[in-house]
Amino acid sequence: MNLPEDHTVLLQRRTTLPAAASRQRLPLSGLLALAMAAFVTLLTEIMPAGMLSSIAGGLAVSEGAAGQFITAFAAGALMAAIPVTAMTRTVRRKPLLLSAAAILAVVNLTTALSNNLAVSLAARFVAGCAGGVVWSMIVGYAIRMSPRELHGRAIAIAGGGATAALVAGLPLGAALSTLAGWQGAFAVVSAIAVLLMIWIAFAVPDFSGQPREHRESLLVALRRPGVAAIIAVILTYILAHNILYIYIEPFLRTRGLSAQIGLVLLVFGIGSVAGLGAAGVFVDKSLPKLGVCVLLAFLIAAAAWALPRQLAAHLPAVFDYAAAFAWGGAFGAFGVVTQAAASRVSGSSIDEVQSMCTTAWNCAVAGGGAIGGTLLPLIGVEAFPASALPILALSLTVLLLGMNPAINGRGAVSQD
């Protein structure tokens, strides 16, 4: 097999590593700093959803206009992930990460001080651009910091901040808004971003950027075996997830769970944490099997919720909680599975591949909301789980035929 030049160099480096290096422990402080970077980034993105009415009242706009706080961030992340990552490939990693954290601190403070919708949305767009850079960097950074045989666990720890934000982001935003007002909530996040910069400065090592002679175009990176399949799995899985997740509140009402929506979402969050923990344990040794389990868990949960109302009415409430837990577990592990898979097939182009994965994720988030909004008046929210099933079946097929064979065919490549 003829390897590209960068692969040959990297493999030679890996074979010359001393045996003691493989026995190193994970650099927990640095990985937790990366996890906090993920937490702050995602918290910045989703926190407005927990205080839309406060934002609308404070800026004297409609809740629909206030909802554009989230849209503006997503647009920035979507538009910046690939081009900004490409432009900063040769930049040293630590200054770049510190710069992204600094931008998050500034734009959150700007949002806290602004009384103008246009200024706030512009700040949110810039925050999304910084977030796109953070998402594209975290996996490659975690890999370069960690022993080769623990790459998957390092990714799980660094990505755990995102899971924590997904579980706690909305209630935290609502609580901060109640205590300090919506502008005070953004000021608190700005302060957290400043503390994050100090943590990064002391705990995260620096690495060089990618040498120009080893740079690959995005097209070449996309053509690496397995990369396109991983991106397709992300697109389909997250699309199906968001068709359900964005409209979960009206769906649960159709199942007679109006008074228990918060509890169901809590079970989903607990499942996400459990899934993340399980992924951290099994990802390094059983990644292909773990991916299959993640897809099957979501398929089973969606199939359970796709049962006709007449049949579901005879089932105990624990049935719905079990489905929520399985779905949450699958979602908590999914990011670790796809990020670890990307790290194994991307060679020296990990940041470029991750930027494409970030873009695919955000496209699927936007697509899930748009498709759900289109389907809602046509088939009703009750049919959403059934509509997700063929998408998940396609995702599982791509995983089995495209992603897993590529993972099994080549091991992780050191990013040093």
Q: For residue range 136-155, what is the model confidence (pLDDT) as tens digits?
A: 888 889 888 888 888 888 88
Tell me, yes or no, whether 317 and 379 share the same domain. yes
Distance (Å, whole) CA 346 – CA 144: 14
Given 174, 196, 213, which residue is the final one in a domain? 213
Q: Give the rounded percent of residues in the chain with a pLDDT score beyond 90.
A: 33
Count of domains in the chain? 2
Helices (H) and strands (E) in the chain, counts: 18, 0
CA proximity to 111, closest of 69, 65, 78, 71: 69
The angle subtended at Cα 249 by Cα 246 and Cα 255, nearest 5°, is: 125
What is residue 212's predicted lDDT score, i.e. its pLDDT? 59
Q: Which CATH number belongs to the domain containing residue 371 in this structure?
A: 1.20.1250.20
For the full predicted model, state whether its pTM sits above 0.85: no
Q: Domain boundary at 213, 248, 279, which?
A: 213
Residue 203 lies in a domain: yes
Range of 106's domain? Answer: 28-213
Give residue 88's pLDDT band: very low, low, confident or very high (50, 70, 90).
Answer: confident
pLDDT bin (cut points 50, 70, 90) of residue 217 is: low
Predicted local confidence at residue 199, as pLDDT: 96
Q: Among residues 235, 378, 380, which one has the least CA distance to residue 306?
A: 380
CA distance 401 to 346: 18
263, 209: one domain: no
Boundary (domain end) residue, out of 162, 197, 213: 213
> Within a domain: residue 140?
yes
Whether residues 225 and 191 share a domain: the answer is no
Task: Provide the greatest CA pair distance for the chain.
Answer: 65
Identify whether residues 140 and 207 lie together within a single domain.
yes
- Give the model's pLDDT for residue 35: 93
CA-closest candidate to residue 305, choices 287, 327, 284, 289: 327
Phi and psi torsions of 286, nearest 5° = -135, 45
**Residues 35 and 132 reside in one and the same domain:** yes
Residue 174 lies in a domain: yes
User: Is the domain of 387 the same as that of 318?
Assistant: yes
Do 240 and 289 reside in the same domain of the chain? yes
Q: In angstroms, rounded to a whole number, what is the distance separating the alpha carbons of residues 208 and 206?
A: 7
Same structural domain for residues 41 and 178? Answer: yes
Greater pLDDT, 289 or 51: 289
| Shared-domain flag, residues 83 and 196 | yes
Per the domain annotation, does 2 fall within a domain?
A: no
Asked, for residue 414, whether it belongs to a domain, the answer is no
